[in-house]
């Protein structure tokens, strides 16, 4: 059955002899920490028994004396066990999930989870909310009225058993040490530490109880890491650490210098998801390409299919024969929303009432649409948030009528922007105009998947 597995109680002798100051000094001096020492730190962060100033000192010591791959795995495990841990051992199917480092228009997860579940694997997909120019899967799912992302543990288990897929948010009990340390990293200038990034990402996925994990590590203006080499290093660190934890893992390094697909927002990204799973792959070829590639790699690392080529063919077949859309429909119904979202998506996913059409000023080609600028324009329209307290306007966003490489004539609509407030529409439109570059020459096509790290 599904349950919460916590770290075993610490022996009295160990608790009495271990001190946080000694751990800080040990790491400051460049020495290797043990599993017990990382457990002490993680439990102290989760339970509040170690003060913030010592946790901050520990993070800075880790920043200046980077954790080794083995230490990163030990720290990840400690944070994962600082609270509850999902246990899907009674589910006999392979369990696989995916994590993206975030981007603009990256609504792949909503299509990916039900599609991969059609391949005979279980997909318990834990997701987060958007902040800044990057969107959040939970916000997009909640653009469907009554869709429940705060799913109780027992219901997650039941849905995985019956349906093979559930998309849900992180509970307070899952990797609580990471929540505390994540906020301190932001306040102490230690965000850029690669081992701490890896431990933060993987602790939540390791606590989720999956067997295998696909990482989508993006690069470009709209990504967490803009430089390809930085993304490559992060991808390699994620894969190697995941393997040390016993997870089957590979990473795709993907392009995020321009928005993915045609939709930026919440309801419109769900609309795009539904239309593509219903077979309209020409709607957004770049989105479809990445969807199939990620789905295929998830099936391969799960052990369900032997090679990527066969897995791609299977995933395309599941879309073509209607199984993928049917699985999405079932998931939506299981989690409280209306099947009309799939049956009549154009009517169900409505845009905000005000709109602005951004038109080409001259004949030529769309050379580039900057992802970060377009994403920030979406935030101004109301589709995103600058702080976690900001409200989301699910109907706000941008629809890209044209993409890079498309020919345009003067007056052609390149993008349509939506907002519920006139000022928001004006501000979003003013910023979006800075994202688009029109030129006389057709730009060279770009590869969505740059590399695969195994």
Residues 306 and 411 in one domain: no
DSSP class of 150: -
Catalytic residue among 27, 85, 98, 99: 99
User: Is 99 tagged catalytic?
Assistant: yes
Catalytic residue among 81, 95, 133, 185: 185
Q: What is the pLDDT of residue 174?
A: 87
The answer to whether residue 177 scores a pLDDT higher than 70 is yes
The answer to whether residue 7 scores a pLDDT higher than 60 is no
Residues 242 and 144 in one domain: yes
Asked if residue 86 belongs to a domain, the reply is no
CATH code of residue 237: 3.40.1030.10
Q: What is the pLDDT of residue 16?
A: 53
CATH code of residue 42: 1.20.970.10
Q: Which of 180, 181, 235 is nearest to 213 (CA)?
A: 235
The answer to whether residue 11 scores a pLDDT higher than 70 is no
Q: What is the pLDDT of residue 81?
A: 95
The answer to whether residue 15 scores a pLDDT higher than 60 is no
Q: What is the pLDDT of residue 71?
A: 98
The answer to whether residue 357 scores a pLDDT higher than 50 is yes
354-to-46, 105, 397, 405 alpha-carbon distances in Å: 45, 21, 11, 28
Residues 266 and 327 in one domain: yes
Q: What is the pLDDT of residue 387?
A: 74
User: By the 8 A CB rule, do 170 and 204 touch?
Assistant: yes
Residues 122 and 219 in one domain: yes
Q: What is the pLDDT of residue 14?
A: 46
Domain that holds residue 65: 12-80
The answer to whether residue 284 scores a pLDDT higher than 70 is yes
User: Is 185 tagged catalytic?
Assistant: yes
Residues 181 and 302 in one domain: yes
Asked if residue 75 belongs to a domain, the reply is yes
User: Is 82 tagged catalytic?
Assistant: no
Q: What is the pLDDT of residue 34?
A: 98
Residues 272 and 383 in one domain: no
- Mutual angle of helices 35-47 and 69-80, in 10-degree steps: 40
Catalytic residue among 193, 200, 203, 221: 200
Residues 193 and 133 in one domain: yes
User: Is 89 tagged catalytic?
Assistant: no
User: By the 8 A CB rule, do 257 and 383 touch?
Assistant: no
Q: What is the pLDDT of residue 99?
A: 95
Q: Which of 51, 38, 48, 52 is nearest to 10 (CA)?
A: 38
Q: What is the pLDDT of residue 3?
A: 46
On average, the pLDDT of the chain sits at 93
Residues 123 and 142 in one domain: yes
The answer to whether residue 132 scores a pLDDT higher than 90 is no
Catalytic residue among 77, 140, 180, 204: 204
User: By the 8 A CB rule, do 123 and 109 touch?
Assistant: no
The answer to whether residue 147 scores a pLDDT higher than 80 is yes
CA–CA distance, 381 with 392 (Å, rounded to integer) = 10
Q: Which of 318, 345, 372 is the last residue of a domain?
A: 345
Q: Which of 290, 325, 345 is the last residue of a domain?
A: 345
Cα–Cα–Cα angle for 139, 141, 147, nearest 5°? 115
Q: What is the pLDDT of residue 1?
A: 37
Question: Of 172-176, 363-367, 395-399, 428-432, which range is least confident?
Answer: 172-176
Residues 263 and 160 in one domain: yes
Residues 131 and 158 in one domain: yes
The answer to whether residue 5 scores a pLDDT higher than 50 is no
User: Is 409 tagged catalytic?
Assistant: no
Asked if residue 1 belongs to a domain, the reply is no
CATH code of residue 390: 3.90.1170.30
User: By the 8 A CB rule, do 168 and 149 touch?
Assistant: yes
The answer to whether residue 259 scores a pLDDT higher than 80 is yes
Asked if residue 444 belongs to a domain, the reply is no
Q: How many CA atoms lie within 13 A of 145 on its CB side?
A: 9
Of all residues in the chain, the percent with pLDDT exceeding 70 is 96
Q: Which of 53, 80, 107 is the last residue of a domain?
A: 80
Question: Of 73-82, 172-181, 393-402, which range is least confident?
Answer: 172-181
234-258 pLDDT, tens digit per residue, is 999 999 999 999 999 999 999 999 9
Residues 297 and 229 in one domain: yes
337-to-45, 152, 168, 330, 422 alpha-carbon distances in Å: 37, 16, 14, 10, 30
Catalytic residue among 97, 178, 257, 286: 178
Q: What is the pLDDT of residue 128?
A: 85
């Amino acid at each position: 059955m599904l349950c919460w597995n916590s770290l075993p109680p610490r022996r009295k002798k160990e608790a009495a002899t271990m001190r946080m100051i000694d751990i800080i000094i040990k790491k400051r001096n460049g020495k290797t920490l043990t599993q017990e020492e990382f457990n002490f730190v993680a439990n102290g962060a989760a339970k509040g028994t170690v003060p913030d100033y010592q946790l901050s000192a520990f993070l800075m010591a880790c920043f200046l004396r980077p954790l080794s791959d083995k230490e990163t795995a030990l720290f990840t495990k400690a944070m994962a066990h600082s609270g509850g841990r999902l246990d899907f051992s009674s589910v006999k199917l392979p369990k696989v999930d995916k994590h993206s480092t975030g981007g603009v228009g990256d609504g792949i997860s909503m299509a990916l989870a039900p599609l991969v579940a059609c391949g005979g694997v279980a997909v318990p997909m834990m997701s987060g909310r958007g902040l800044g120019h990057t969107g959040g899967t939970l916000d997009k799912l909640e653009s469907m009225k009554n869709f429940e992302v705060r799913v109780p543990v027992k219901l997650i288990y039941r849905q995985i058993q019956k349906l093979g897929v559930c998309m849900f948010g992180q509970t307070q009990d899952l990797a609580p040490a990471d929540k505390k340390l994540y906020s301190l990293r932001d306040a102490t200038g230690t965000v850029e530490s690669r081992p701490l990034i890896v431990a933060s990402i993987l602790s939540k996925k390791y606590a989720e109880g999956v067997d295998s994990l696909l990482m989508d590590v993006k690069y470009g203006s709209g990504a967490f890491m803009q430089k390809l080499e930085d993304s490559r290093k992060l991808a390699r660190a994620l894969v190697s650490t995941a393997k040390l934890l016993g997870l089957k893992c590979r990473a795709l390094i993907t392009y995020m210098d321009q928005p993915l697909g045609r939709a930026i927002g919440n309801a419109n990204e769900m609309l795009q998801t539904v239309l593509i799973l219903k077979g309209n792959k020409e709607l957004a070829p770049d989105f479809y390409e990445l969807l199939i590639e990620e789905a295929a790699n998830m099936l391969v690392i799960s052990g369900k299919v032997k090679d990527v080529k066969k897995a791609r063919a299977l995933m395309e077949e599941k879309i073509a024969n209607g199984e993928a859309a049917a699985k999405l429909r079932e998931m939506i119904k299981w989690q409280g929303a209306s099947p009309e979202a799939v049956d009549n998506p154009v009517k169900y996913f409505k845009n905000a009432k005000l709109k602005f059409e951004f038109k080409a000023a001259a004949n030529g080609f769309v050379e580039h649409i900057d992802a970060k600028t377009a994403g920030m324009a979406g935030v101004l329209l109301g589709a995103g948030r600058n702080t976690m307290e900001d409200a989301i306007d699910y109907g706000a966003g941008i629809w890209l009528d044209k993409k890079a490489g498309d020919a345009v004539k003067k007056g052609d609509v390149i993008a349509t922007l939506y907002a519920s407030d006139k000022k928001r529409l004006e501000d979003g439109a003013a910023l979006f105009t800075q994202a688009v570059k029109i030129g006389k020459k057709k730009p060279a096509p770009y590869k969505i998947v740059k590399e695969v790290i195994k």
